[in-house]
Amino acid sequence: MTDQCKCSCGCIKPNDPRFEELQRYIDSFGDDNKGIAMRVLQEAQHIFGYLPLEVLKYISEHIGVPVAELYGVATFYSQFSITPKGKHRVSVCLGTACYVRGAPKVLDKVCEELKVKIGETTADGLFTLDATRCLGCCGMAPVMMIDDDVYGKLEDVSVIPDILKKYE
Ligand code: FES
């Protein structure tokens, strides 16, 4: 049996076995702890999926960097998140080409379907919604991505519920 939390809140207990994996990564630097905070935060984000206070405290105690400093880094860079992310990431492009071709309507429809706002995660932990800049496929505007899958030409937003259902 594992001590890893199985509830949908994504909480992390102090005896979560993933801390051992993080410790092995920290240990791989030996005694040379200087300047590794960024790399340890990246690894922790990869291992846990987000950086809650429990994880920041653990890192602080083991590499000797104040929690406040780690929190500052974790909240400054978009690659980090201090709240749990959903299983699937939905990104609606709000770049210029998508915007003029109806991205606001796409975004409204996704918000309505998932009952979340930008940056939020659905109550079941399945989806996190983000708005993004140009995804590099303007010819397909308006565009949204779900994980690595691109969906374009979404002027008719009535197709969006069926697209989302594929990931449930
Ligand atoms: S503006 Fe949306 S893909 Fe370029």
The CATH number of residue 141's host domain is 3.40.30.10
| pLDDT one digit per residue (tens) for the chain, 168 residues | 344 455 445 578 888 999 999 999 999 998 877 889 999 999 999 999 889 999 999 999 999 999 999 999 999 987 888 888 888 999 999 999 999 999 999 999 999 999 999 988 998 989 999 999 999 999 999 999 999 999 999 999 999 999 999 999
What CATH number does the domain containing 32 carry? 1.10.10
- pTM: predicted TM-score of the whole model, two decimal places: 0.68
Ligand 1 contacts CB of residue 143 (under 6 A): yes
Shared-domain flag, residues 159 and 121:
yes
**Are 160 and 113 in contact, with CB atoms under 8 Å apart?**
yes
Separation of CA 92 and ligand 1 centre (Å): 9
Neighbouring CB atoms inside 10 A of 89's CB total 16
Q: Are residues 67 and 103 in the same domain?
A: no
Q: Are residues 55 and 95 in the same domain?
A: no
Distance between CA 91 and CA 143 in Å, rounded?
A: 9
* Dist. CA 97 → ligand 1 center (Å): 5
Quick one: tokens of 145? Answer: 């991505």
Question: Does residue 138 line the site of ligand 1, with CB under 6 A?
Answer: yes
Residue 10: the pLDDT is 57
Residue 96: which domain range?
88-165
In whole angstroms, give the CA distance from residue 166 to residue 161: 9
CB of 23 shorter than 6 A to ligand 1: no
Tell me what pLDDT residue 1 has: 37
